[in-house]
Structure 1
Amino acid sequence: MTALATAPVPGSEAFTSEFAARKPRFSADPSWMAARRQAGIARFEALGLPTRKVEAWKYTDTQSLGRQAYQLADDATLSSAVMDELALAIDAYRLVFVDGLYNAELSDVAGLPDTVRVVPLSHAILHQPEVVGGSLNRLTGIDFTPFVALNSAFTEEGAVIQVGPRTVLDKPVYALFISRAAVDGQPVTMSHPRLLMQLGSRAEASVIEHHIGETGATNFTNLVAEVMLERGAVLNHYKLGEAATGETHIASVQVEQPRDSQYRSVNLNTGGGLVRNDIVCDLNGNNAHARLDGLFFGRDRQHVDTHTLVNHNEALTFSDENYKGILADRARGVFNGRVLVKRDSQKIEAHQNNANLLLSDRAEINTKPELEIYADDVKCSHGTTTGQLDEGAVFALRARGIDEQTARGLLTLAFANEVMTGLGIDAIAERIERSVAGRLPSRFHLDELVDLSVELAGGTVAVARDEDFA
């Protein structure tokens, strides 16, 4: 009797075909990398793209990805003028990736301390197999999501960031991912970058992850980030999403935090057609702190989905989460924040809040904060609010001689300000200000705006709480 071949799950064929076609490209892989690729594509072929029947994806349809023939980019050509137009104007150690491939000419990591290593993943695979071989997929195994399995199959590039013990990095590491628009009948590209961030004991660093696309880009980015902190390490992880409105961006982030470590995520998204972020923090030691701040702004028919999970695996661990959503036109947002307190994880503290502002009666938000607690000596809170701009506040600003469009932009920006407070990177704040409120008259400054909003209206939105949206 002949064994029957298992048919691939619908939606996976386009990706498995590209994998088969690109095998010669991966021929130089070390054996452990080749095995990792094969396991990833086999797992993805078995799972396929997630459907809305899967609880975690019930509001986000990814099936259209299976109907597009994506290809890996063959070059990373980009002029410095285009990069300068798209990049943040900041003083940082910079790695530049174009359609997922490393561009050495546009990158600049000169002056790094001897105790810090910032290299493209392709370099680390060849020259540091003892580092990446045991770290890739250690936190996010191929079963994490189908997209992690897909990334495992196609991983070529990304950034490896290692900060030695007791090292305080003097300026941020800036990982810039640029998507080009297809021209002259070129195929739509996909990329599967990896970020591997490792901080030694009591090290401190900031990493800026910036995704931006040229106007008209329709590419697919599928990123996986793994963050490994040692005792007392402090990492500020900023993510700025400015993909073109025709692009799809999927990201999976896993963080491992031992005793006394601190991880701050600032996840800011204003672009992309379909965006999904999964962030998981494992608090594995006493006095580990996780702070997750986020802001998503959707227009037209953008769809932005954020899922977070904080696992309080040990006693005396702490987490704070504050996400804000602003949705206009027919944009849709999804927020699912889950806090899991394991058995015997006593004396933990966890707070979570999601507030949303709808600028159109056609915009939609699906929000679900969750607490799952198996300990009895804890301090936990969660909540969600959804509302519209307070028309009284709009009127009050107009009475001061401000036109209606500017007044609404100012109040919308004031709503976002809580997440932006303490950001510490002016270039990012300016991008968000321009996206959320447009180009405001120069006489307005953010601090003055907040004071003015509170003075005139006592707040910026008329709010309905979650119980009103049962």
Structure 2
Amino acid sequence: MNSIENKELKAQLIADFQLSQATLNGKSNMPIHQLRGEAMKNFDKLGFPTIRHEEWKYSNVSNLIKQTFDFHTKTDFKKSDLKKIHVPHLKGNILYFINGVYNAEISEIATPEDKLKVISFSEALATQPELIEEHFGKYANYQNDAFTALNTALSNDGVVVQVADNKVVEEPIIIRYISDVRLANVGSQPRNLIIAGKNSQVKIAESYRTVGENASFVNTVTEIIVGESAIVDYYKVQDESDKTYHIGTTQVHQKGRSYFYAATATLNGGFVRNNLNVVLDGEHIESHLFGLYVPNGKQHIDNHTLVDHQKPNCESNELYKGILMDKSTGVFNGKIFVREDAQKTNAYQNCRNVITSDEATMNTKPQLEIWADDVKCSHGTTTGQLNDEAIFYMQSRGIPKKEAIRLQLLAFAQDVVSQIKINSIREYIEKLILEKLEAA
């Protein structure tokens, strides 16, 4: 579709798919396009979820589907426009995607190819179709998840990262997604595939920003394969506008003796849904999941996590923390599955929230399903207000009440922020949190 039509979003997306299929010129019989067709059929059957769906009970997408978005908007975003979204001291392999499309002119690759291969998803489709066919649609659930099915059918760009066996990539890979909505409502559906080879080490960060005043719809899927004995640090940072609808799924598949570490920081966004699913498919695996969300105004932030222990002798640890202000809404749904073969599992989950306004709302639902008998598992969640006694004590020592509250909230967030090992990103997040708290 080259122009926006005022019709229901589902119909627009199906028509868009049919148009793209009509231009394949005989390639429609390739396995990847057959899979895309199957995914679109699933999306057509599933439709957009409603609050009657248990997984979407607290997150209503009705406002999203009432709008129209152009998924093919041309943009004249230039290197000079990066000043609007500048992050100080940002270094490494930095890739820019504008409205979901790779921009090589403003991207920078620092690591030699013998350690790291980074290409756009569209380039990989053209030059390495066998790699895409091996992994595309094999991990993220496009059969039962409407948004993943939609992305699988219509994703047209993103990044493919391959870390060679036995290599340590010192420079982080930073993938910056920018929604340029200066001219119209824009939709994008990035698809990322990250493959960390055996005994490799890498740090990866995805960041999402908005430029302009119109609405954006970002529907992204990232699939991460953590090879045997590999170490992967993964960060997701969201600083989008109040007119952004962000649906993101990160699907992680870990092999034996691997280590995966994730930190998700959601600082701004009108409607945000993050799905983080980790499958521990081997022995002696470690998984650590951290999350921080700081909504204000009428922002809605929903974090769904799933940690699936499939093999014995593995450990997972999960900590999500929220600071909710004004009329904002938070959702946390954390699932832990321990399969029958996953004996000697240690799995822990904790969600803690501070509400600073009587009009803010937090909905939590921890879930633990265990089919093994020799395990150590626990989960817990708390939602409350600040410690009045601590604030009074700080005031008695000469600290103004507003400053005492701010210091308490900063300390509360630090458990997650301190886990981010890319200094420039951690400092940027700390700055944004401070600005939000000072404005409250």
Match for residue 248 of structure 2 among 244, 247, 251:
251
Q: Which residues in structure 2 correspond to 1:255-404 (within 5 Å)?
A: 255-404=252-401
Identity of matched residues, %:
33
**Mapped pair 1:121 → 2:118:** no
Change (3 A) 1:59 1:440: closer
Deviation string 1:142-165 (CA, Å, 9 cap, x unpaired) is: 214100111012111101010011
- Secondary structure of the equivalent of 1:107? strand
Larger RCO: Structure 1 or Structure 2 (Cα < 8 Å, ≥ 6 residues apart)? 2
Change (3 A) 1:409 1:292: same
> Take 2:12 and 2:392, find their aligned partners in 1: how far apart are those partners?
53
> Take 2:437 and 2:348, find their aligned partners in 1: how far apart are those partners?
34
- Secondary structure of the equivalent of 1:42? helix
Aligned equivalent of 1:432: 429
Aligned equivalent of 1:456: none
Deviation at 1:401, TM superposition (A): 4.1
CA-based RMSD: 2.0
Aligned equivalent of 1:451: none
> Take 2:434 and 2:159, find their aligned partners in 1: how far apart are those partners?
33
Contact 1:167 1:204 in 2 (8 A): yes
- Counterpart amino acid of 2:286? H
> Take 2:302 and 2:437, find their aligned partners in 1: how far apart are those partners?
28
Deviation string 1:379-414 (CA, Å, 9 cap, x unpaired) is: 111111111112232333344444433332221111
Greater CA drift, 381-390 or 36-45: 36-45
Contact 2:182 2:211 in 1 (8 A): no
Deviation at 1:438, TM superposition (A): 1.8
Aligned equivalent of 1:68: 67
Match for residue 10 of structure 2 among 9, 12, 15:
12
Match for residue 213 of structure 1 among 204, 210, 215:
210
**Mapped pair 1:59 → 2:58:** yes
Contact 1:73 1:100 in 2 (8 A): no
> Take 1:21 and 1:68, find their aligned partners in 2: how far apart are those partners?
21
- Secondary structure of the equivalent of 1:72? coil
- Counterpart amino acid of 2:118? V
Instruction: Identify unmatched segments of 5+ residues in structure 1.
Output: 1-9, 442-470
Greater CA drift, 63-72 or 24-33: 24-33
> Take 2:14 and 2:62, find their aligned partners in 1: how far apart are those partners?
15
Instruction: Identify unmatched segments of 5+ residues in structure 2.
Output: 1-7
Aligned equivalent of 1:229: 226
Change (3 A) 1:76 1:95: farther
Greater CA drift, 140-149 or 379-388: 140-149
Match for residue 239 of structure 1 among 232, 236, 244:
236
- What is the aligned residue count? 429
TM-score, scaled to structure 2: 0.93
Contact 1:116 1:163 in 2 (8 A): yes
> Take 1:200 and 1:130, find their aligned partners in 2: how far apart are those partners?
17
TM-score, scaled to structure 1: 0.87
- Secondary structure of the equivalent of 2:327? coil
Deviation at 1:314, TM superposition (A): 0.6
Change (3 A) 1:51 1:26: farther
Contact 1:240 1:269 in 2 (8 A): yes
Aligned equivalent of 2:4: none
**Mapped pair 1:132 → 2:132:** yes
- Secondary structure of the equivalent of 1:438? helix
Aligned equivalent of 1:150: 150
Deviation at 1:280, TM superposition (A): 1.1
> Take 1:439 and 1:56, find their aligned partners in 2: how far apart are those partners?
30
> Take 1:399 and 1:428, find their aligned partners in 2: how far apart are those partners?
35
Aligned equivalent of 1:454: none
Moved runs in structure 1, 4+ residues, more than 6 A?
Answer: none
- Counterpart amino acid of 1:88? V
